[in-house]
Every structure is written in C-alpha cells, then in structure tokens.
Amino acid sequence: MAVLCFARRDIIGESSSAEFTDSAVTASTSYSYSIRACDYHKNCAADSVVGTVTSAPTGAVDPTKTPDTVDGMPGISDQLAARAFVLGVSTITSQELMDLVILHELSHFNGVIGNPDKDWSVEKRLWTDCIR
C-alpha cells in the first residue's frame, strides 16, 4: 500500500511505510498535511487529515546530534547510558527505561515517596524496589 502525503494540496511524496519526511520546508512555518492510502493500482481512499505542524526555527539544535557529555554526564544522545549513570548501574535496557519513566510519572500522582524531578533518590528507589 502506498501513502501519498499532501501539503497545500500538492502531492509532496510517496511512502510504502507509515513514515514520511518533508525535506522542503521553511523554518518557523506551519504546514498542514493529509495522507491518502492507495493500493498498488493507485485506487485511493479519501484524504485523511493528519494535522498541522510547525517547522523548527532557524538555528534549532537537532536533538539527534547532541553533545556526548553535558555537565560531565553522558549527553542526551544516549538516554540509556545517561539514565544508567544517574542510577549508578552499568547498563539499562530500553524496556527498563520505559518502565522507569512510567513509574516516574505515576509517582507525581502518588506523592508518597517524593518528587522524582527534585530528588534523584526517588528514581533510584523506584529502580531498586520495582525494576531490579
């Protein structure tokens, strides 16, 4: 199945997956996109509105190209290493990180063990008590 991406009613591209990158955008500009699913013979369904996005401003930092270290800690280019560093462990898997993030956010509503945004020991306790 092909997916045609439209912006300003112009076909800007085609993708065989659920992802598409529009590389011809202007900084700080809003764009509205819709998609149209088509079969191999170009029999297409009606447009489906995906939404409006605004491109990044000129000079914005690409989050995939961050420094290797920030204040002596691993940079956000490697979230797993950074979180392992904070927790004082050698490694953390992506599944463990997702579990920890969920517990971190839920602890905001609980409040019993403290605020994980202000006290790293709260996250270390979540790690020790709930994950490892």
Residues 43, 80 within the same domain: no
- C-alpha closest to that of 87 among 130, 113, 125: 125
pLDDT at 67 over 60: no
Report if residue 62 sits inside a domain. Answer: no
Do residues 31 and 76 both lie within one domain? no
Same domain as 86, residue 41 = no
Rg, C-alpha atoms of the chain: 21
Same domain flag for 73 and 125 = yes
Residue 20's pLDDT is 73
Where in the sequence is the domain holding 79, given as residue range(s)? 69-131
75-96 pLDDT, tens digit per residue, is 545 677 778 888 888 888 888 8
Count of domains in the chain? 2
Tell me the average pLDDT across 108-130: 77
Looking at the structure, tell me whether residues 91 and 122 fall in a common domain: yes
- In this prediction, residue 1 carries a pLDDT of 43
Question: Are 73 and 123 found together in one domain?
Answer: yes
Q: Is residue 59 part of a domain?
A: no
The answer to whether residues 40 and 7 belong to one domain is: yes
In 8-128, the DSSP E strands lie at 10-15, 30-38, 48-54, 69-70, 73-74
**pTM score, whole prediction:** 0.41
Residues 113 and 87 in one domain: yes
- For residue 71, the model assigns a pLDDT of 54
